Amino acid sequence: MIALKGSVITSKEIIKDGVVVIDGAKIAYVGPMGTPCGDTNAKCAQSPQGVPNMEIIDCRGKFISPGFIDLHVQGAGGCDILDGNYEAVNTISKALAANGVTAFLATTVYFVGAGPCARPSQGNHRGLPLHLAAVAQAIRKGTQGARVLGVHLEGPFINPLKCGMIKKENIAQTMGTLCGGTNVKYARPPQGVPDIDAIIDACGGALKMMTIAPEMPGAIEIIKQLKKNKIVAAIGHTNATYDETIKGFDAGITHATHVFNAMRSLHHREPGAVGAVLTDDRVSVQLIADGKHLHPAVVGLVIKQKDYERTALITDSMSAAGLPDGRYVYNDLKYESNAGLAVYFGTDTFIGTALTLNKIVKRVVAMGKANLQQAVLMASIVPARVLGIDNRKGSIVKGKDADIVVIDKDCDVSMTIIDGKILKK
């Protein structure tokens, strides 16, 4: 057993002189120091020193926080999900864990593994996209760092007008085919509805979220199918009007991918996707609160409107996350990482950040848009709730997974604990 002493960040408050006891992979107790834990077998009572084999870790002066959960990670530590192998996913997981992230959604684009738009190396022997197979393998086998919670696919059913950094060949065309109609494997031409089942299959059970544009032909049916399969349908990369967006919510959309970014914006006579997302309580949002993708005033606006309860901080991190500024490559295209921002080389197109989630938490606090406890909630319990795993992850509560990070007031990480195992000390 391990007992951590320090300021404990819970969903309600910060317990200044608190203690968290970890028994195996679970949290056994959380509360103030020097009070009984109320547990009938009283293993963790008044003085943890009295319990045999109890390792006491003194974190006084620091914060004991729930581990961060990032719903939008494309890469980190020099690797990208698109690298398409287990080692890359494992490297990403280690880079994230070193920065306080204990679980994440591997976020990437879709392409047909053995289709004409894929490089020959991109499909495995069954024609499944290697990058999706690699994530499924990382979930099965486990990783040495942050837990892989599943795949988040941005596309292929998104609007090319709002593609951002997503290439044309990663976007389904209106007739439901990829690569401009040359591959019909994933199409149902009579109805013009792309075959979502094939994509769900290709992810080997790992697909947990899909970003979709509800205005595209066939999208409403796909949203319903995602809902049926318990996959979070998230609006994003969309040019939907307000009315089209509401239809998407009615069909089952519950979440919005990087709100404001790659999304039809708010106009006072046509509130667009952003207007619908901000005013409909059925929908939670992802927020890239780096101060660059969104002006700090807009960060504040979103948090005020959606509340801390419905705002999930994300990084949208690229391979450069956790590495020095410089030039890197994403999906064959060069980009530049500078002070946490990733921009296509020679352009002003943002493609994500080079930040880890602890840095975003720090920036939100520095902007004055949340205090530390509120910012931590948006990086832990809210994303857990979005995925429906808040019964076991996302907060420091007795019985939940012991996913914990020890941070200082600047959100620098001194220790990461995943499933009760100390990864960084």
Please report, as ranges, the residues that interact with Zn ion according to CB under 5 A: 154
Whose Cβ is closer to Zn ion: residue 80's or residue 154's? 154
Whose Cβ is closer to Zn ion: residue 341's or residue 423's? 341
- Residue facing Zn ion at closest CB distance: 154
Q: How far is the CB of 116 from Zn ion (least distance, A)?
A: 24
Per-residue tokens: 264:
């039809």
Helix, strand, or coil here: 73? strand
Q: How far is the CB of 331 from Zn ion (least distance, A)?
A: 12
Looking at residue 387, its amino acid is L
Helix 86-97 to helix 130-141 angle (10° resolution) is 60
Q: How far is the CB of 163 from Zn ion (least distance, A)?
A: 9
**Rounded distance between C-alpha atoms, residue 407 and residue 377, angstroms:** 14
Whose Cβ is closer to Zn ion: residue 286's or residue 395's? 286
Q: How far is the CB of 237 from Zn ion (least distance, A)?
A: 6
Q: How far is the CB of 414 from Zn ion (least distance, A)?
A: 32
Whose Cβ is closer to Zn ion: residue 97's or residue 158's? 158
Q: How far apart are the first and last CA of the chain?
A: 16
Contact 334, 327 (CB under 8 A): yes
Q: How far is the CB of 257 from Zn ion (least distance, A)?
A: 6
Q: Cα 147 to chain center, whole Å?
A: 12
Q: How far is the CB of 210 from Zn ion (least distance, A)?
A: 12
**Rounded distance between C-alpha atoms, residue 258 and residue 341, angstroms:** 15
- Using alpha carbons, select from 200, 222, 70, 217 the residue that is nearest to residue 147: 70
Q: Strand 311-313's sheet: what is its strand order? A: 68-73, 101-108, 147-154, 207-212, 232-235, 253-256, 284-287, 311-313
Whose Cβ is closer to Zn ion: residue 158's or residue 370's? 158
Whose Cβ is closer to Zn ion: residue 144's or residue 347's? 347
Strands (E), 301-386: 311-313, 326-330, 333-338, 341-344, 350-353
- Give the CA diameter of the chain: 71
Whose Cβ is closer to Zn ion: residue 272's or residue 394's? 272
**Rounded distance between C-alpha atoms, residue 22 and residue 55, angstroms:** 10
Helices marked H in 307-394 — which ranges?
357-367, 372-378, 381-387
Q: How far is the CB of 152 from Zn ion (least distance, A)?
A: 10
- Using alpha carbons, select from 234, 45, 44 the residue that is nearest to residue 150: 234
Whose Cβ is closer to Zn ion: residue 83's or residue 154's? 154
